[in-house]
Amino acid sequence: MNPTPVIAIHGGAGTILRSALTADAEAQYHAALQAILQAGQRILADGGSALDAVTEAVRLLEDCPLFNAGHGAVFTSAGTHELDASMMDGVTLEAGAICCVTRVKNPVLAARRVLEASEHVLFTGAGAEAFAAAQGLEFVDPSYFHTDARYQQWLNARGSQGTMLDHDAASLDGPIDPDKKFGTVGAVACDARGHVAAATSTGGMTNKQPGRVGDAPLIGAGCYANDATCAVSTTGTGEMFMRMLAAYDVSARMEYRGASLEEAAREVVMERLPRIEGRGGLIAVDAQGNVTLPFNTEGMYRGFARVGETPVTAIYR
């Protein structure tokens, strides 16, 4: 029996307090998540692949200034933007990723081209941009990624002489807590054929050292997909997700121990990551169309949509 196609997305996790978001800001996040879920839902309803659905969802998340990816990416300590993205196809286990690009408008589209058109998995910096240019992808002036809110976050972080993970509810006005919010976007999907795919994209950490790469473009850490188990996209303290191979760990628990999607994801997020102070969450689907969206922080911008049903979005715990 074929599963009902489903897509899930996230836009970052962390200390997202109801008291710190205005009603208008909250409505903007819900509206953006709903519109992006509907776009992915339409692709799946028309018989499109899980890979196509996650590509489009993450492209739209990159284009939305509310989230830390693409237009709206955070600033490095040098006042620049360095963007990372990855994706994986659960049918073939093929993957593509790019990191530290500065002029590629939609990093997820570059990751898709690496998956489809290259024998390699990961390109970085100038090599990634040369590959993207050769593939005919759209380039922009680095000023395209600037938003006033991110610029103010950067000024605050410079004043504190620290790095700052995105989505800190108090980041624009109060003291900066570097553990408060984690800015990555991602999507996972299961299509009508029971195939799964995942994609992840990020602008990194505010005031990060240039050249720093987190989990988002690393297959197995920030992104993983395998039809035999699940598709996963993560958001959180990147270094901890890298050390735990968090995305792959969900799949491994399902494959080697027979854990359910829900059980495997909960163990990784609620038990294993906290052992090394790993904070954040993940979204995951399996080939039967099951969905889970666990997180160990106060909130995570998230949602899912099954074909034929109204999309569900949420922010708080």
Report the binding-site residues: 212-215, 235-238
Write out the two tokens for 17.
């307090």
Tell me how far apart the alpha carbons of residues 178 and 81 are, in angstroms, rounded to a whole number: 19
DSSP alpha helix (H) spans, the chain: 23-45, 50-63, 107-117, 125-134, 148-160, 238-244, 246-257, 261-266
Task: Say if CB 202 and CB 69 are below 8 A apart.
Answer: yes
Residue 277 to residues 13, 111, 206, 210, 243: CA-CA distances in angstroms?
15, 29, 20, 24, 11
Binding residues for substrate: 212-215, 235-238
Active-site position among 15, 76, 102, 184 = 184
Q: Do β-strands 6-14 and 95-101 pair in parallel, antiparallel, or remain unpaired?
A: unpaired
Give the Cα separation of 95 and 89 in Å (integer): 6
Amino acid at the residue 237: T
Q: How many residues appear in the chain?
A: 317
Which of these, 308, 306, 301, 309, lies nearest to 31 by C-alpha position? 301
Copy the structure tokens of residue 255: 């494959």
d(CA 267, CA 257): 12
Question: Does residue 184 have an active-site annotation?
Answer: yes
The type of residue at 268 is V
Structure tokens at 303: 């949602």
Burial of 69-99, coded b for 16+ CB within 10 Å and e otherwise, reads: bbbbbbbbbeeebbbbbbbbbbbeebbbbbb
Place of tokens 């920030």: 222
Asked if residues 238 and 215 have their Cβ atoms less than 8 Å apart, the reply is yes
Active-site positions read 184
